[in-house]
A and B are shown apart, each in its own frame.
Chain A
Amino acid sequence: AQSVTQLGSHVSVSEGALVLLRCNYSSSVPPYLFWYVQYPNQGLQLLLKYTSAATLVKGINGFEAEFKKSETSFHLTKPSAHMSDAAEYFCAVSEASGTYKYIFGTGTRLKVLA
């Protein structure tokens, strides 16, 4: 079965600093991978997705992620953190067949310090 591991349930960065949120997946075949963001008491919003095209994926709000098959990783980065980036971030993997259902990681709460 697919699984997703997000290292670090809480990450704090200073405003203007690099944001790095880690995601590792377990899959025997190249999966589909997603990063979603959730603001308090709201639903999830798609930041970016990997669907076997380019390994470096650019998303909204200046975020990007790199798919590394050899490391089974899909880490999310942003060069310069903004106060508005404070939220919870979820990595998800989708099965490559069948119902294509998502398996979510446990999330990383990002805090941005002034």
Chain B
Amino acid sequence: EAEVAQSPRYKITEKSQAVAFWCDPISGHATLYWYRQILGQGPELLVQFQDESVVDDSQLPKDRFSAERLKGVDSTLKIQPAELGDSAMYLCASSLGLDGGVEQFFGPGTRLTVL
């Protein structure tokens, strides 16, 4: 069964360091999402790609976060510099396309701890 892959699964870093997360969506899925999930809360969309283009990054803290999906397949989310408040689970999801009611398939997530 096809799955969304993410790495690393766990990351511990110190404040002010740079971190990067990688996501490989299900093959053929044109839409890719990065979410941040703070403990005890629901996922919050950070950025959404359609192929290689960003269609929504309204909640992405652009002073320190960046995301790319250069070839419209896998994607990288970067934080530089990391802050204590960035400690959270970062989830990647993918879907076939932009359409109402389309299911998003989630990866296992990367749990980030900033010390």
Contact = CB atoms under 8 A, between A and B. Distances in A.
A106 B41 contact: yes
Nearest to A95: B100
Give the interface SS of chain B, mostly helix, strand, loop or mixed: loop
Contacts of A107: 40-42
Nearest to B44: A104
Given A90-B42, A106-B41, A51 B100 contact: yes
Query: What interface size band does chain B fall in?
Result: 20 to 34
Given A42-B109, A43-B108, A100 B100 contact: yes
B4 A43 contact: yes
A87 to B, nearest CB: 14
Interface string B97-115: 0111111111111010000
A43 B111 contact: no
Interface of A: 4, 9, 32, 34, 36, 41-46, 49-52, 90, 92, 94, 96-97, 99-102, 104-107
Given A34-B103, A44-B91, A49-B103, 13 more contacts: A41-B108, A42-B108, A43-B106, A43-B109, A46-B104, A51-B100, A99-B98, A100-B99, A102-B43, A102-B45, A102-B104, A104-B43, A106-B42
